[in-house]
Each structure stands twice: as structure tokens, then as C-alpha cells.
């Protein structure tokens, strides 16, 4: 056809291209009713969750442990629990540094309030992201269809009392929930097809970074993060994109792992070593699962949500225009991996793996806590559900009414259960009693023990048995002392600080400086109510490097199943080691044997890795020996430890005459 320029008198015409059907990557490309109902559901569920969590607000003792580390960071002592001893007492590195940042920004605001606000805000954000991610999952099948989005799995989660308890506990539970919601939303977006072009490098890099960040939120979340990275590598179309995924996903976790190995001398967090995270206690794990299920009949929403999910999947419209939009060279395996069904499988498998890990490990001593993250993953695909409005387009109105009726009936069952569970008494009379299972409702336990309905500050915990007395004992021992818990809840047993003989080589200024230490299980409430110059140790190994390297007791309380004798603490410090300086219920021969056992060369190397000044040489040495330091174990009985190290038993000292 001749152009207009070839014929000046001709009428200028414009050739129109045929219309192209575009697929927009908006978050919610469906009609107003669907979009409005989804956002309304998100707003209502988040408001209910925030209100319910606030009604149960508190800060756990373990949450105060994190804040003790933050205090040391702010004081310039490093990420440690006790100054001069590099022990990683917190499981979540990300939560520790987030609290450090929040406390630094918050300035004069109490750390406990910063932790409370961050935990609650992140918990609510996590639920919102979870629901929005699921809403996006259903977007392609709802294009041009009428439906109402109803909260389902999200209702189940917020109805559970433990979910509301740990939304403000000062632990990393809120961060974990926000992380899971964000990763779910991003994976759904990644799994939806793109019109004839690959995913943008920026989004791909951010998603890889978020997936790799999993191990810093909680170590067991690495199971989920690694699975996400593996899916991304399989779906990547070029080696450049694979390199981007590896770099973005691995840079920060690998860097922090090298830091951990060099600074702490371990391959894993100290808490993982203390709780023997690689061990197995299947029977206790099943007990923990039953303890979580029984008070709320969690199996009921499972019975309702599984057929509901199957029904929605069967009724989902699969648009025929999606497959041609993918590039021809995009392989079958890549298409299968980068797809909504694969993303759903990813989150379900991740939840099952985490649940299986915790059941194998034995669970926890806090009711329901460690099963919340696996539950979030399992609920994600049905966090919200589309209740279709029959219009006769995809199937007959009769079939549509049947589908809508079945979905509505199942949803009403879920809503009814949620209302009942939200008002459940939970563990009932056993909530605050440490029974044979070792599992308690921590919030109710500390509310009862402190006399505060909402123990949210360290000062509230001064009403816990022995806590007020610890401050009095420190004031009454200006020359230094080790405090041991006594049978009387209002006093402590005192082991005075040893004083060298006048004129001896040890008689210098440093040895005369008064030192204090407290040996007690509840590290958080003690650590946040005493100065950073007071060394706070426990017998289970969260902040005690010696207890960390003992063996796990077969029948100990879960999460507290290491138990170091106080003789080791006396032997390891500048304390009097003979009668009458030590309590009468201790054996000074055991103290002498523990002191001798500490001279074991391997034990000295392990202690030197965290107590010697940090230098480049020390850092490299710790990295090279971190594997053997992590595997190293001592025997909690001093004489057996002497035999293991091949050291002589010290001569017995006769007890003093009465």
C-alpha cells in the first residue's frame, strides 16, 4: 500500500494494530466486590488480632534475655550476655539486632516497650501479608468472576490463645510471623506467570535475599528458605540470574555464619547447643503436639479446611491464555516449578518439615510456641477463601449453588470453631503447674508468679520469688560474692569472693576488684534487673559456656534438659572453694575436682575461644576450630571429667571439725 508521502493529495491514514490482551501484574486484578471484601477481611482480622494480643500483652523471661544482650550492645560490650564472655544467648540474630536498632532509635523509651511495640506490629503485619498473599493466589481464577473473599485460615490462627500470647512476648515470634507472611506473598507473586518476559532482576534479587534471610530469623526456617532458593534456581532461565539468586540469597547468611564462627567459636547459636537442637525426643514431641491440640481441638479446623481447599482447587478456573504467554524456550520443569500449584506445595511442605523437626526435637516447654510457625505455613493456602457467587459462566447455576453452599457451610464451621477456641480456657488448671511433661502456659505462669496480669517490664518481675532478694543480696556483699538459689524464696546462699594473701603475686588491683555473679535459671529477669558488671549464669547453658558443652539429660524437662552442678561455677570463678565459705549442701571435694577438671587442655581451648581478647588471630583460629568446639562435650560429674581428660584426682581434703 503506497504511503501518504508518495501521494501528497492523499488522505493520511494510520494503521491500527490489533488489540493485545494484557495481563496486568496488579495485586488484585479482579472486580470491586472481591477486592473490597478482601481488604475488609484483612482489616477486621488484623484489628481482632491486635486487640486480642493487647489483652494478653506480656514480656517473657526469654524476651528479657534478648534485651540483656541489647544492653551490652548499647554499652559497647558486643553482642554478648555477659561482658568479657562471647556467648550467643539468643536464637534469632535478626531479632537481636532489630531490638538493638529499635532501642537505639527509641532513646529514653524503655526497651521493654520497644520490644512490645515491635512484636505486636510485626505480628499484625504478618497476618495481613499472609491474607494478601493468599488473595493474590486466587487472583487469576477470579478474573471476571463474582465472589466474596472470606478469612478462613487467618481466623483459625488468631483464634488460638498461644498465637495471641506470643504476639507480644518479646520473643522473635512476631518477626517470624511477619517473615512468613512476606515470603508467602513474594513467592505467590513469583509463581504467577509473566507476560512473555522473565521476572525483573530487582524483584528476583529481593526475593532471594528474603529467602536467604530465613536462617537469621530462626535457624530451622532455613529449611523453608533453602527450598525457596532451590525453586528459584530451577526456574531461572540464565546463568546470570542463577548467579544473582546465589549472591543475593547467600551473602548475608554466609557473612553472619563466618562472624559467628570467628566471634563465638561455634557453628550454631549457643541456644541450639544448649538445647541440643540436633537431638531427638520423639515421645516428648508427640506429647507436645497433643498438648497443643487437646485444649482447642485443632483437628476440627483441619477437617474443615482440607476439604474446603480441595473444593476451591477443583472449582478454580484455569485460564487457557496463561501458558502461551510464557517464552517458548521456558522449559517444562521451570514452568512446573514457577507456578501457583508449586508455590502451594512449597509452603505446605515447608510447614510439614518444620512440624516434623520440632516433634523430633521434643517441642518446647512453652505451650504451643514452636508449632505456631508450622501452622502458619499449613494455613497459608486457605488464609482467605473465595466464596463464589453463582453466575452461570463457568458452570451451571445449579452446580454453582452447590459449590457456594458447600464452601459456605465449611466456612461457617471454621468461623464457629474460631469463636469457641478464642474463648477456650486453654490448659485449664494445668496451665501454671510444671507437671511431668514440663509444658506450661508461660504467660499465665508468670502472671500468677509475679502478681501482675501483664508483666511487661523487668521491674514487674521483681515480684517473682527471689528477685527482690537478689538486689538486697548484691547490696549486702560489697566485697563481691556468688549468689546461689536457696530453698528459701526470699534469700540467696552466698559464696564470698576469695582474697589472695597479702604480698602474694595475685595480690594486685585487678584481683581486689569486687565481682558478683548470680547462678539462676531465669536469666532474663535477673539479667535485666542487675547491672552489666554482674555476671549472670544458668545451669542449662543458655549463657553458661560450660553447661552448653554437657550432655543432654534423657529425662530432663524439655528446653531445660542440661543441668550443670553449682560446683563448676564455684570452681570457675574467684570464689572461696572450701568450707565454711561454700554452702553445706555442696561437697568441697567436688569443687576441687571441678577446678582440676577445668585444667583439661581441650576445655581450656574452648573457654579461651570466647574469653581471650578478640584479635584477628583469635578470629581466624576460632573459625578453623569451630567444628571441634561445637562437638566438644564435658562430663557434668567432675571425677568422670577428670577420667575423660586423663587428669589425676586431687587429694581429698578432710571436712572441718564442728
Q: Which helix (H) or strand (E) holds 516?
A: strand 516-519
pLDDT tens per residue across span 93-118: 999 999 999 999 988 889 999 999 99
Name the one residue in this structure whose C-alpha cell is 512490645.
Answer: 116
- Cα dist from 542 to 199, 538, 597, 655, whole Å: 44, 7, 21, 34
Rounded CA separation 477/518 (Å): 12
Give the residues of the chain that fall short of pLDDT 70: 1-30, 144, 193-198, 315-330, 390-400, 501-512, 655-658
Q: What is the dihedral of CA 180, 183, 188, 190, to 10 degrees?
A: -170
Burial class (CB in 10 A: 0-12, 13-18, 19+), 485: buried
pTM: 0.91
Whether 441 contacts 367, CB under 8 Å: yes
Tell me, rounded to whole angstroms, the distance of Cα 298 from its chain centroid: 22
CB 54: neighbour CB atoms within 10 A? Answer: 14
Rounded CA separation 522/586 (Å): 22
When computed from its CA atoms, the radius of gyration of the chain, rounded to whole angstroms, is 30
Which residues have a Cβ under 8 Å from the Cβ of 138 and sit 6 or more positions away? Answer: 149, 312, 316, 384, 386
3-class SS at 483? strand
Whether 629 contacts 265, CB under 8 Å: yes
Whether 542 contacts 523, CB under 8 Å: yes
* Backbone φ and ψ of 495, nearest 5°: -110, 110
pLDDT of residue 199: 76
Amino acid at each position: 500500500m503506497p504511503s501518504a508521502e508518495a501521494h501528497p493529495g492523499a488522505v493520511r491514514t494510520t494503521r491500527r494494530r490489533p488489540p493485545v490482551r494484557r495481563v496486568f501484574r496488579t495485586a488484585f486484578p479482579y472486580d470491586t466486590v472481591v477486592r473490597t471484601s478482601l481488604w475488609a477481611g484483612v482489616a477486621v482480622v488484623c484489628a481482632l488480632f491486635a486487640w486480642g494480643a493487647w489483652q494478653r500483652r506480656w514480656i517473657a523471661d526469654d524476651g528479657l534475655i534478648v534485651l540483656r544482650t541489647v544492653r551490652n550492645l548499647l554499652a559497647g560490650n558486643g553482642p554478648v550476655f555477659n561482658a568479657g564472655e562471647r556467648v550467643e544467648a539468643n536464637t534469632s540474630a535478626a531479632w537481636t539486632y532489630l531490638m538493638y536498632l529499635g532501642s537505639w532509635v527509641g532513646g529514653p523509651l524503655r526497651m521493654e516497650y520497644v520490644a512490645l511495640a515491635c512484636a505486636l506490629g510485626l505480628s499484625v503485619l504478618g497476618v495481613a501479608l499472609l491474607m494478601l498473599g493468599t488473595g493474590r493466589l486466587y487472583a487469576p481464577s477470579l478474573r471476571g468472576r463474582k465472589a466474596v473473599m472470606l478469612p478462613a485460615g487467618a481466623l483459625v490462627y488468631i483464634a488460638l490463645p498461644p498465637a495471641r500470647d506470643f504476639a507480644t512476648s518479646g520473643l522473635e515470634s512476631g518477626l517470624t510471623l511477619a517473615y512468613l507472611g512476606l515470603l508467602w506473598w513474594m513467592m505467590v507473586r513469583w509463581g504467577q506467570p509473566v507476560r512473555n518476559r522473565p521476572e525483573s532482576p530487582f524483584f528476583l534479587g529481593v526475593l532471594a535475599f528474603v529467602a536467604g534471610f530465613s536462617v537469621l530469623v530462626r535457624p530451622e526456617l532455613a529449611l523453608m528458605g533453602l527450598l525457596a532458593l532451590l525453586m528459584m534456581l530451577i526456574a531461572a532461565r540464565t546463568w546470570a540470574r542463577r548467579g544473582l539468586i546465589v549472591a543475593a540469597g547467600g551473602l548475608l547468611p554466609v557473612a553472619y555464619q563466618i562472624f559467628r564462627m570467628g566471634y563465638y567459636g561455634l557453628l550454631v547459636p549457643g541456644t541450639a547447643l544448649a538445647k541440643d537442637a540436633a537431638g531427638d525426643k520423639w515421645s516428648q514431641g508427640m506429647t507436645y503436639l497433643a498438648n497443643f491440640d487437646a485444649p482447642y481441638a485443632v483437628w476440627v479446623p483441619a477437617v474443615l479446611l482440607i476439604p474446603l481447599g480441595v473444593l476451591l482447587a477443583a472449582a478454580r478456573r484455569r485460564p487457557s491464555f496463561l501458558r502461551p504467554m510464557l517464552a517458548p524456550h521456558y522449559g517444562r520443569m521451570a514452568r512446573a516449578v514457577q507456578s501457583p500449584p508449586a508455590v502451594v506445595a512449597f509452603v505446605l511442605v515447608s510447614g510439614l518439615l518444620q512440624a516434623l523437626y520440632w516433634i523430633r526435637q521434643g517441642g518446647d516447654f512453652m505451650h504451643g510456641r514452636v508449632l505456631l510457625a508450622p501452622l502458619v505455613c499449613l494455613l497459608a493456602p486457605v488464609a482467605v477463601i473465595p466464596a463464589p457467587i453463582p453466575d452461570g459462566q463457568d458452570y451451571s447455576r445449579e452446580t454453582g449453588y452447590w459449590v457456594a453452599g458447600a464452601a459456605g457451610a465449611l466456612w461457617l464451621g471454621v468461623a464457629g470453631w474460631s469463636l469457641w477456641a478464642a474463648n477456650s480456657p486453654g490448659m485449664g488448671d494445668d496451665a501454671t503447674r510444671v507437671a511431668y511433661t514440663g509444658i506450661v502456659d508461660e504467660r499465665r505462669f508468670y502472671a500468677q508468679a509475679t502478681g501482675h496480669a501483664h508483666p511487661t517490664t523487668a521491674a514487674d518481675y521483681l515480684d517473682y520469688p527471689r528477685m527482690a532478694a537478689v538486689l538486697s543480696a548484691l547490696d549486702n556483699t560489697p566485697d563481691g560474692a556468688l549468689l546461689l538459689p536457696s530453698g528459701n524464696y526470699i534469700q540467696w546462699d552466698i559464696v564470698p569472693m576469695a582474697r589472695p594473701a597479702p604480698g602474694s603475686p595475685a595480690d594486685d588491683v585487678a584481683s581486689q576488684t569486687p565481682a558478683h555473679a548470680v547462678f539462676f535459671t531465669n536469666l532474663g529477669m535477673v539479667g535485666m534487673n542487675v547491672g552489666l558488671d554482674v555476671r549472670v549464669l544458668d545451669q542449662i547453658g543458655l549463657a553458661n559456656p560450660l553447661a552448653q558443652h554437657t550432655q543432654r539429660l534423657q529425662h530432663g524437662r524439655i528446653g531445660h534438659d542440661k543441668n550443670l552442678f553449682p560446683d563448676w561455677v564455684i570452681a570457675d570463678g574467684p570464689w572461696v572453694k572450701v568450707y565454711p565459705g561454700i554452702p553445706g549442701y555442696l561437697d568441697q571435694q567436688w569443687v576441687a575436682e571441678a577446678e582440676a577438671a577445668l585444667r583439661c587442655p581441650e576445655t581450656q581451648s574452648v573457654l579461651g575461644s570466647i574469653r581471650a581478647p578478640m584479635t584477628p588471630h583469635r578470629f581466624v583460629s576460632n573459625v578453623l576450630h569451630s567444628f571441634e568446639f561445637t562437638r566438644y562435650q564435658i562430663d557434668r560429674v567432675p571425677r568422670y571429667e577428670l577420667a575423660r581428660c586423663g587428669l589425676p584426682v586431687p587429694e581429698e581434703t578432710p571436712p572441718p571439725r564442728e
